Every structure is written in structure tokens, then in C-alpha cells.
Structure 1
């Protein structure tokens, strides 16, 4: 029963991540069908990620206070209903609203799903293996979204991209309550609503402005700084700052890897279609090369962490990911990079998940899950904006700019690997062997 529950939770997590990118290739068809303009398409693309990333910390806090099973089922119900509404949307404004609602449901479900791992696997060893495998599900979801988008665009109307989210959410809502014990009664506790508003507005401004407005990015940073200051004084902080001690490095590594994946795959997709002349379907098929590496990297990290510790595995993962980016930069033959890079990111995500969730109390599991998912969500828009800007600095020929951007991302990952491998003296160098 535990394996069935984990499979269902994992399928939900993959679906929540895949829904970010599943509409991308279908955007021209959406524009033709709903008669929207370019500004409408921007909102359709970003609406889900904005509400998802902005509300994750609040979703994690609610999971800790109200119970993870209760919040997960509620979030998946909202996500499924909103997905159905998106598939039936008659106009672009209705589609945008549905995508916002999808993201809000996902923000409730994702941290609650991570918190449920401790309920499904009370044994520490089994929970460690499950958490390591969980770390690669986001990579799997990102790849699945790209592939599904290409397949749907090729053979069926774009509205069918929302069928999988509807089906997965329906199964999760109806089946999971029979697999997981009921939550205890909601425990008393305050929600830091001013902090929730500040962090939601800050993350939303940061992710939206990363690709569109430098001033909006600055506003987002200012709001997040104000949020951090309020957490010192709040009697019930949304994110207790001492909780971040020892977790900042793995969260940073997740953000960098997620950003490098989004930006690197975007640049490679453009190159394969615009320079090499591949169709959307064949471009999507090329990304399937990463699937085996992603699936292997999670269990591999789970085996290495008890022997080496999370920091060393984190260092190995980021170093392998950097090597993969350099291979992706060989644009005439990037296919080795499509194997090596996902292997590195998968190891990084798995080690980071173990580092963030390790030694976490049951009443803070939602918070930890919210932080980890937030790092995964803010990485792609920031990484995409940065790599596109770097690529634009060397526009002639385009391949030169793409390669320069990928090398720059690799350098950032190498620096992270060095920080993980050689922690500063007096820092937190000890860690529990799991």
C-alpha cells in the first residue's frame, strides 16, 4: 500500500510540474483558436507559474497546520477543476483565470505531497530512498511537459493537453484517502498573513519580472527583503529564519540547476528547430534522451548519500550538471549533454531534497516541502532570463551566444560544487548519515 501511495503522490508531483510547460508548444494553436494577441499568450504562459511559485510557502504552512492529507486532496481538487476549465475555456481571459487557479491548487498540493512522504514511509531508511527518488520527479515532469506538448500539437487539438491533469487529479482525490491515514484534528496555530502577502507578492514580482521588467525584479527583491525582516519580529513566522540554517546551500543548488535546465533546454530547442530545422515533434523526441538518466540519478543519489553525505553528493551532482552543460554547448552534437546534464541535476535535486527534508519535524514537513518547491519554481524564470540575456550578448552567429550562455551557467554550478565540497570553517560541516 505504501508503494501505491508513493506512486500516486509521485504521479501528482510530475503532473504539477509538467503543467508548467505543457502549453508552450501549443501557444500558436491557442492564439488561432481563441484569437488572442501576444500579450494574452504571455499571461497564458506565466499565469500558472506565478500563482504556483508565489503561494507555495503559504501552502506549506497550511499543510503543517491543517494536515497534509487534507490540504493535498483540496489542492488536487482545485487543480483538477481548474484544468478542466482551462481545457474548455472559450476565451483567452478565461484560460488565464483557469491557469491561475491551477497554480493555486498546485501550491497547496505540492508541499503537502512531500509532507505525506513521512506518513507513507515512517521507517527512516525507506523514507530516505523515497525522498531521493522524489528529487528527480521535477526533472521528469519538466521533460514530460515538453514531450506531451509536442505530441498534442502534432496530432490532436491543444485542449487535450489538460486531459492528463484532470485524470491524475481525479484519481488522486478519490484513491489517496484510502491509502493514507487520516490527519489528526487541525492543530492550533496562527498564520502570518502579512508575511504571506509579502512573500507571495515578492515571488510573483520576481518570477514575472525576470523575463519582462528589471524594475519589477527590483520590486520583488525589495518585497522579499521586507518579508525576511518581518520574520524576525513575527510571533508565528511563515518561514522561521533559523530553519534555513544549513538548508541555504541545497536550496541555492536547486534554484541554479532548475534555472540552468529551463534556460539550457530553451536555447537548445531554439537551435534544433531554427538552425537544424527539426520539427516540434522531433525536437521533443530528442529530449527523451534525458529520461533514462533522470530515472537512474535518483536511486543513485539515494545509495551514495548514506556513504558520502548529502554535501558531497550535492557537490558531485552540481559538478556533473556543469559538465553536462558544457556538452550541451557543443551544439552540433549536444546529445551527450542531454544524458549527462539531467543525470547531474537529478543527483542534485535528490541530495537537496534529503538535505532540506532531513531532521525536519513532522509539523515542519510542509514548510520544508514549500521551500524546496519554491526553489524549483523560481529557478526557471530567473535562469531563462539570465541565459537569454547572455546569449543575446553574442548574437552573431546565434550558436555562439547559446554556447556562451551555457558555459556561464556551467561556471555558476562549478562554484556551487566547490562550496558544497569545501564548506567554510566553523560552518555546518557535520551531517547525519541517513
Structure 2
């Protein structure tokens, strides 16, 4: 098999390995959610530390994605992917043997470090191997499908594995996949993706990492503490650190994130839509799962299974329909249409959240919202990476995934806060609970509509050519980047 990434078969196998790696890093976030009660009982973890079994992983990913993307550009995408999978696999193994809560949280944080290296490296390999615009669109569509199935599969597999094998196997299940990925990396991943010249901007990296960590931490605190000093101080610290990061980057000889990249309308518009789209979609999984369990009293496993149709809709929209529609519609049109469909689906979902309405009526709205999100995802992902020079694909991928993580964190925090304010966390009657979740989902309708409006910022492109753009090609401006 050729290692240069050429040839349909080798590229298909390469995409399968990269998507599988991305799948397990997503799986490892949601799969642990279901196992938290068992973990708390077995390790005697108190209520203040228990959320960090989940949050340590997500915080490390969100804070380090941009940094991981820059490392991939500088030191080689294959090398960083390999290092990330090695860290992820080893810490997954060790986490499963944990006998101490602090050790488990530490291993979960290191798992997040590995995932933050894997994700931007893998995505940038996809976008540099698939150079044909239509093939790149199909590859990114499959990537989006993996995004949907990974999160949903975690809820389902987590329930099954925890009930049958125990919570430790929830962590161990990803180890064989990591091992296979490590074995196949030197065989399948292209040797042509060599490291770039330049040095790492350590002060800029420190500001970016601490700023993003503070932002995600503050947003997460809103879920439990509301708009209080406890939540606002990290957000204010994040604002100071991120402003300092921008100021530093303007003066740095070799900045972590080239400012001309952030000045690209394609990059900015794609990431803004990504924040809004994920702020709308990510909380829907959480709210719908809670609604089904607390209002209609279905089991954790059944609630996870009932999310599968929406996940299938995302996968179908992203991996099947979007690449075909991009031959007929511009990327801007598909982003706007997709997020509009998502908003309509969210509205239908909100109207179905009533204890007097059978749970089956939640399915149409969830499916429609998922379909719209999937259509928009492929289009905005193309916008965010399609016109970027190869030597900056890692950092562009890191930015795109960071906007997804931050958007999801913002959306979940706001949705939980709205639900609590409306009475969903008072554990009152089923009607009161349903009312709280319905109010929260109405908020998601607004976020999806904002995503559709932001889609108008996407540059015009030629219908039928996903790689075209009205912007001057960034390759032609590579010397300024």
C-alpha cells in the first residue's frame, strides 16, 4: 500500500482510520457521562469532585485544540497524531485501573490532552489529502457524520457497558482502537506531510491555553452557580487573557495563529456559525435525554436509543445529502438553509415537550433539527478549511474544532440555566419539568436562527464548485501568512 495518500483505496482506509480515531475521542466524552453514578459509588467520590471526571477531559480538549493544531503544522501531522493517540490510549488504560479519585481525574485530563492533539492533526490530514473540492466535501461530510454518531453512541454504549461489564470497561473499550490506530499510522498516514519551518510561540500558546481554559471553566460554572462571582470571574479572566493573546500575536515574529488567517472572512464566518450551530445542537441532546428520563420515566439506555434517529439524521445530512446539494447550491445557501431547518426542527421539538404529549412526538423535531445541522456542518467546515494553505491547515482545523467545543459549552450552560430558572430542576410535577425543558429549547431555537443569520456572512461561491470562493484564494496570499 502506498504511503503518500494517493489512490482511492489507500485514501479510503486513511479516512477510516482518522474518523475512527475521532470517533473514540468523542465517544470517551459522552460514554463516561452514563457511568458517573457507578464511578462515584465505587471510588467514593463526593459531589464536588465527581463532575471533574467529565469536565477535566472536556476542559483539556477545549483549551489545547488550537495549540495542538499549531504543533501539527510545525512538527508534522502524522507525528502529532501518533503522539496524541499514544497519550490517549495509555491514559485510557491507566484510568480504568484508578483506585483514587484524584488519579482518575488526572488521567481524564491527560486523555483530553491526547484528544486535543489527535483531532486537529486528523482533520488537517483529511483536508490536505483530499484536495479535490468535491472529494473534500464528501470527506468532511463523513467527518460530520462521525461527530454525530460518536456522541450518541457514547450514551448508548455507556449504559450497556456499565450495566454488563462495569464502569472500568467504559474507559478500556477505547484502548484497542487506539492500539490499532498506532499500528496503522506509519502505514497509512502520508509521509509527505512533513514538519514546517518555524518555531513555537510559547508566550502566545500560554495566553491562548489559559484564556480558553478560563473561558470554558467559567461557562461550565454557570450551569451550577448561575451568573455569580464564581462563574463571572473566570470569564472576565478569560477576556483579559484572550485580549492579551491578540495583542501579543500582533507583535510576535512567528505568531501561534497568523492574524491574516483570523482576518479571512471565510475563517471568521465559518467559526461564528460553528459557535452558534453547536450552541444550539449540543444542549438538545442533554435536555432531550433528561426530559425523556424525568418526565416520561424511560431508562438511561432507552433515552440514549431514542436519540439515535436524530444522530442518524445528522449523519445523513452531513455525509450523504450535503455533498450532493453542494453541486446545486452555494456553501452560503446551504449554511443558511441548514441552520434554518435546524431552527424549525428545534421549534417543533420545543412544542412537543409536554407531559400530556407522548414521547414519540419528540422524534420529528429532533430528526429535522439534526438534518439541518448536518447539512450546515459540512458547508461551514468547507468554508473554514477549504481555502487555507497546506502549511496552516493544522491551526485552521484547531480553530474550527475549538469553536465547536466553545459553542457547545456556551449552549449547554445557557440551556441548563434557562431550564433551572423555569423550574425544570425543582423536581416538581412532570408538567413543571416539561415546562422548564420547553423554555430551554425555545432558547435553542433562537441560537439556531442566529446561526442562519450569521451564515449570510459566508463568502459567495460558485454553485456546483464547493472549492470556489469569491475571496481571493488564500494560496495566492500564502506569502503574507
Report the Cα distance in structure 2 between the residues aligned to 1:68 and 1:74, rounded to whole angstroms: 10
Report the Cα distance in structure 2 between the residues aligned to 1:360 and 1:391, rounded to whole angstroms: 40
2:302 counterpart residue number = 282
- Range moving further from structure 2, 144-153 or 54-63: 144-153
Quick one: which of 402, 419, 427 aligns to 2:437?
402
Quick one: which of 345, 348, 368 aligns to 2:396?
368
Whether the aligned pair in 1 keeps the contact of 2:69 and 2:120 (CA below 8 Å) is yes
Report the Cα distance in structure 1 between the residues aligned to 2:146 and 2:246, rounded to whole angstroms: 29
| TM-fit CA distance, 1:119 | 4.5
Whether the aligned pair in 2 keeps the contact of 1:195 and 1:227 (CA below 8 Å) is yes
| TM-fit CA distance, 1:139 | 1.9
Is 1:242 the equivalent of 2:277? no
| TM-fit CA distance, 1:154 | 2.5
2:334 counterpart residue number = 313
Report the Cα distance in structure 2 between the residues aligned to 1:164 and 1:112, rounded to whole angstroms: 23
State the SS of the aligned residue for 2:363.
coil
Quick one: which of 61, 76, 95 aligns to 1:67?
76
| TM-fit CA distance, 1:398 | 2.3
- The 1:103/1:231 distance shift into structure 2, 3 A limit, reads same
Whether the aligned pair in 2 keeps the contact of 1:5 and 1:120 (CA below 8 Å) is no
Is 1:49 the equivalent of 2:67? no
Report the Cα distance in structure 2 between the residues aligned to 1:414 and 1:184, rounded to whole angstroms: 39
- Range moving further from structure 2, 285-294 or 181-190: 181-190
| TM-fit CA distance, 1:286 | 0.7
Quick one: which of 218, 225, 243 aligns to 1:209?
218
Report the Cα distance in structure 2 between the residues aligned to 1:193 and 1:35, rounded to whole angstroms: 39
Structure 1 segment 75-90 matched on structure 2, within 5 A = 75-90=84-99
Report the Cα distance in structure 2 between the residues aligned to 1:376 and 1:409, rounded to whole angstroms: 15
Quick one: which of 255, 260, 276 aligns to 2:280?
260
| TM-fit CA distance, 1:111 | 0.5
| TM-fit CA distance, 1:413 | 1.7
| TM-fit CA distance, 1:185 | 4.9
State the SS of the aligned residue for 2:34.
coil
1:229 counterpart residue number = 247
The TM-score normalised by the length of structure 2 is: 0.86
1:220 counterpart residue number = 238
- Rg bigger for which structure? 2
State the SS of the aligned residue for 1:182.
coil
The count of residues paired between Structure 1 and Structure 2 equals: 430
2:169 counterpart residue number = 160
- The 1:429/1:136 distance shift into structure 2, 3 A limit, reads same
Whether the aligned pair in 2 keeps the contact of 1:70 and 1:183 (CA below 8 Å) is no
Report the Cα distance in structure 1 between the residues aligned to 2:196 and 2:324, rounded to whole angstroms: 36
State the SS of the aligned residue for 1:136.
helix
Is 1:325 the equivalent of 2:360? no
Whether the aligned pair in 2 keeps the contact of 1:136 and 1:350 (CA below 8 Å) is no
Cα deviations by residue, 1:105-160 (Å, 9 ceiling, x for unpaired): 11111100011114433444322321232233222221122222222233220111
State the SS of the aligned residue for 1:23.
helix
Whether the aligned pair in 1 keeps the contact of 2:127 and 2:385 (CA below 8 Å) is no
The TM-score normalised by the length of structure 1 is: 0.94
Report the Cα distance in structure 1 between the residues aligned to 2:173 and 2:192, rounded to whole angstroms: 28
2:323 counterpart residue number = 302
| TM-fit CA distance, 1:235 | 1.4
2:224 counterpart residue number = none
Report the Cα distance in structure 2 between the residues aligned to 1:27 and 1:68, rounded to whole angstroms: 34
| TM-fit CA distance, 1:320 | 1.3
| TM-fit CA distance, 1:428 | 4.3
Whether the aligned pair in 1 keeps the contact of 2:162 and 2:169 (CA below 8 Å) is no
Whether the aligned pair in 1 keeps the contact of 2:282 and 2:412 (CA below 8 Å) is yes
- Range moving further from structure 2, 208-217 or 128-137: 128-137
Whether the aligned pair in 2 keeps the contact of 1:5 and 1:180 (CA below 8 Å) is yes
State the SS of the aligned residue for 1:211.
helix
Give me the CA root mean square deviation.
1.8
| TM-fit CA distance, 1:184 | 5.5
Is 1:344 the equivalent of 2:372? yes
Whether the aligned pair in 1 keeps the contact of 2:277 and 2:451 (CA below 8 Å) is no
Whether the aligned pair in 2 keeps the contact of 1:132 and 1:301 (CA below 8 Å) is yes
Q: Which runs of 5+ in 2 are unaligned?
A: 1-9, 222-230, 425-431, 468-481
Quick one: which of 14, 21, 40 aligns to 2:49?
40
Is 1:356 the equivalent of 2:384? yes
Is 1:192 the equivalent of 2:201? yes
Report the Cα distance in structure 1 between the residues aligned to 2:240 and 2:332, rounded to whole angstroms: 31
Whether the aligned pair in 2 keeps the contact of 1:52 and 1:107 (CA below 8 Å) is yes
Report the Cα distance in structure 2 between the residues aligned to 1:364 and 1:355, rounded to whole angstroms: 14
| TM-fit CA distance, 1:256 | 2.2
